[in-house]
Homo-oligomer: A and B are copies of this chain.
Amino acid sequence: MPKNNEVSMSVIRRLPRYYRFLGELLRTGVERVSSRELSNLMGLTASQIRQDLNCFGGFGQQGYGYNVPHLHEEISKILGLQSQQKTILIGAGNLGRAIISYSSFKGKGFELIGVFDRDPNLIGTKIANQTIIDVKEMGEFCKQNSPTVAILCVPKTSAHAIVEKLVELGIQGFWNFSHYDIMMDYPNVVAENVHLSDSLMTLSYKVTNHTKQ
């Protein structure tokens, strides 16, 4: 049983990376891996890897290393990837459409069940097997289908009102691409923010300070 009550977010954020690297080993038929080998692959120290995995009760054996299929499976369980949280996406503009086409939700803990927009030109059209639904029907849809997660691809100006409604409708988790700070107003939901423009500005800092050196 994972003892993950007090695991820091920086450890959690490394887990998807472990999961990806173990998945690659698995696909090439590797059955066991030492923390040293994993360390060479991933660019982390072996001691960091042992420490990270020990947060969840360890999984390695002295002199054997880690069993790849077992560790892959255990990390998948810790991350909850085998669950299928019913998920809706709001805002089928350029970014929303890319998210739908680009992301594979199955196997990552989510099932996309509805896509909403307010643009009459988009409503009724299809993206990756999803027919875009009028956002006015979102309330009724949620009552019937009980989604728990929403992907927010709307501008900051519309985000607050939509989040208020979605929280009322039972949404507990947000993949948030808007600049609206959900958890300041709703501390009881969870949100994972992807702020592309912040990331771009951080790159600007890195490049500027790199070239100054």
Contacts and interface: CB of A to CB of B under 8 A. Distances in A.
Interface of A: 4, 12-13, 15-17, 19-20, 42-43, 78-81, 83, 85, 93-95, 97-99, 101-105, 108-110, 148-149, 172-173, 175, 179, 181, 183-184, 189-192, 194-211
Given A79-B202, A102-B196, A108-B200, 4 more contacts: A20-B197, A43-B184, A94-B98, A104-B197
A194 to B, nearest CB: 6
SS class, residues of chain A in contact with chain B: helix
B194 A199 contact: yes
Given A98-B97, A207-B80, A208-B83, A202 B194 contact: no
A91 B102 CA distance: 13
Given A43-B181, A98-B94, A108-B197, A190 B206 contact: yes
25 contacts: A16-B195, A16-B202, A20-B198, A79-B205, A79-B208, A80-B204, A80-B205, A80-B207, A81-B201, A81-B204, A83-B208, A85-B204, A94-B97, A94-B102, A99-B196, A103-B197, A103-B200, A109-B201, A110-B204, A149-B207, A173-B203, A173-B207, A191-B206, A192-B200, A194-B199
Contacts of A210: 172-173, 189-190
Contact of A175 (B108, B109, B175, B203): B203
A20 B179 contact: yes
Contacts of A194: 194, 196, 199
Contacts of A172: 207, 210-211
A171 B43 CA distance: 22
Contacts of A13: 198, 202
Contact of A205 (B17, B78, B110, B204): B78
Q: List the 7 closest pairs (A to B, CB-CB), nearest first.
A: A80-B208, A109-B204, A98-B98, A192-B203, A16-B198, A173-B207, A16-B201
